[in-house]
Amino acid sequence: MSNLTDLSIAAIRDGVRDGSFTAREVAEGFIANVEKGRSLNAYVVETPEHALAAADAADQARTSDDLKPLSGVPIGMKDLFATKGVQTTAGSNMLGGFKPVYESTVSRKLWDAGAGMLGKLNMDEFAMGSSNETSAYGPVISPWRRNDGGNAPLAPGGSSGGSASAVAARLCPGATGTDTGGSIRQPAAFVGISGIKPTYGRCSRWGVVAFASSLDQAGPMARDVRDCAIMLEAMSGFDPKDSTSLDMPVPNWEAALSSDIRGKRIGIPREYRIDGIPEEIGRVWDEGIERMRDAGAEIVEVSLPHTKYALPTYYIIAPAEASSNLARYDGVRYGLRGTSDGGIDGMYQATRHDGFGSEVKRRIMIGTYVLSAGFYDAYFNQAQKVRALIARDFERVFNEVDLILTPTAPSAAFALGDKSSDPLAMYLNDVFAVPASLAGLPAMSVPAGLDGQGLPLGLQLIGRPFDEQGVLNAGLALEERSGFTHRPKAWW
């Protein structure tokens, strides 16, 4: 029954419900794929027993008519979410072997909704990166290949690279991701799947290893928009354990899904037409604009004048918060402890020297610098002010339009190794993703076409605060009209 692994989350859920197949058959199919797909390095821990236990519970629940929204659906879990008793490392040596004694709220909610876990997914170390190459567990490989036969393996994007590769390669039907400055949307675009970062505060950060707390948001990555809606519904909700959690009811996004976007006003920000990006990105964007127009939306050119400051602003604020959040890894409380004969200071130094990789060290140094007494006003304070201006740009534009449509990333997937020695080139990949993060807005990437090398390109929809429904509906309209059914060729 290997074709069960081609089914969407909705189709798995419905098929288990109506008895077309059992949840155990589904779980076994994905477990077999996880084993066959090991060369992608997408999973850092495999938990078939968890997936099978949830599947058996789903098959039991069916007989007693007690099915839950995700009964019978096995998923992958980004290794940033604390999973009780299951190794959680955030892709870092610092947390090598760390088994949390508690469950993150988001993973708890998914299990409560009936989902099972196939394993923990590889990621950039502490979610810092855009290619999954900063992971202590080695890079994840994208299942996609260039048409010209270029043999260099491609990056799946990052930091949720394991999630992206696993979903695209059918090693799970859906996965959790987290997005601080694009880490759900950019990898989704690179591998031809969908992913949504909800409004800041929708998903609890409790038990999600912290990177930059004012930006971090969890969200789903799946093969289509409906599956994202289904997963997001299960993941969202107020949590008193997260002081920035939104105290608002979770809408029934799937039930209200509709690709009827007639009369919606969609803004096209002129500042996103930047020089030096491949012509094909512009072509796919223009096609997307035409598709929205065909669907009955009104297209409006808009201006977000502070866009050009978003990337430098993000790369001040995110490292500043990271340097503070990562101060806890001192070798005393948990995780790695380095050895040194230099007393407690020596132990701290050895721990942080051995535990962190070079990108994480770079961020800690940048963050410490921009927060230091002599530079705080010039950098951190200034960045906070510019962040407010960026948010105000969006607020103003959302008086005129309902949604904004842009490319997700300035390029298709690049080869592993292409940018890993040039941090600035790597950071530039986030140029279209970070403005919505700084403003806390819901934003989604939907696959929209292929480039000349046969690699997927994504388009991004940004919505008003709390308007995940508008984003999902426009995403569905785009998905239906793009007819994107491409998938990577078999890789094993």
Query: With respect to ligand GLN, which residue has the nearer C-beta, 127 or 246?
Result: 127
- Return the amino acid letter for 440: G
Query: With respect to ligand GLN, which residue has the nearer C-beta, 51 or 446?
Result: 446
Q: In this chain, which of 193, 209, 318, 477 binds ligand GLN, going by CB under 6 A?
A: 318
Q: Does the protein bind ligand GLN through residue 128 (CB under 6 A)?
A: yes
Q: Does the protein bind ligand GLN through residue 234 (CB under 6 A)?
A: no
Pairing of β 74-78 and β 116-121: parallel
Binding map of ligand GLN across residues 401-430, x = CB under 6 A, - = no contact: -----------------------------x
Structure token pair of residue 248: 């608002």
> d(Cα 176, Cα 86) in Å, to the nearest integer?
16
Structure token pair of residue 353: 């020297």
Q: What's the CA angle centered on 323, arms 321 and 325, to 5 degrees?
A: 65
Query: With respect to ligand GLN, which residue has the nearer C-beta, 318 or 336?
Result: 318
Query: With respect to ligand GLN, which residue has the nearer C-beta, 145 or 197?
Result: 197
Q: In this chain, which of 47, 107, 176, 180 binds ligand GLN, going by CB under 6 A?
A: 180
> d(Cα 138, Cα 158) in Å, to the nearest integer?
13
Structure token pair of residue 19: 């008895």
Q: In this chain, which of 28, 79, 179, 224 binds ligand GLN, going by CB under 6 A?
A: 179
Query: With respect to ligand GLN, which residue has the nearer C-beta, 80 or 448?
Result: 80
Residues with catalytic annotation?
A: 78, 159, 183
> d(Cα 364, Cα 250) in Å, to the nearest integer?
36
Binding map of ligand GLN across residues 277-316, x = CB under 6 A, - = no contact: ----------------------------------------
Q: Does the protein bind ligand GLN through residue 140 (CB under 6 A)?
A: no
> d(Cα 195, Cα 211) in Å, to the nearest integer?
20
In contact, 132 and 159? CB cutoff 8 Å: yes
What letters, b where the CB count within 10 A reaches 16 and e where it falls short, cover 28-42?
A: bbbbebbebbeebbb
Least spacing, CB of residue 323 vs ligand GLN, in Å:
13
Q: What's the CA angle centered on 22, arms 19 and 25, to 5 degrees?
A: 150
> d(Cα 425, Cα 429) in Å, to the nearest integer?
7
Q: In this chain, which of 159, 199, 351, 460 binds ligand GLN, going by CB under 6 A?
A: 159
Binding map of ligand GLN across residues 343-372, x = CB under 6 A, - = no contact: ------------------------------
The residues of the shown chain that bind ligand GLN, judged by CB under 6 A, are 127-130, 159, 179-183, 211, 318, 430
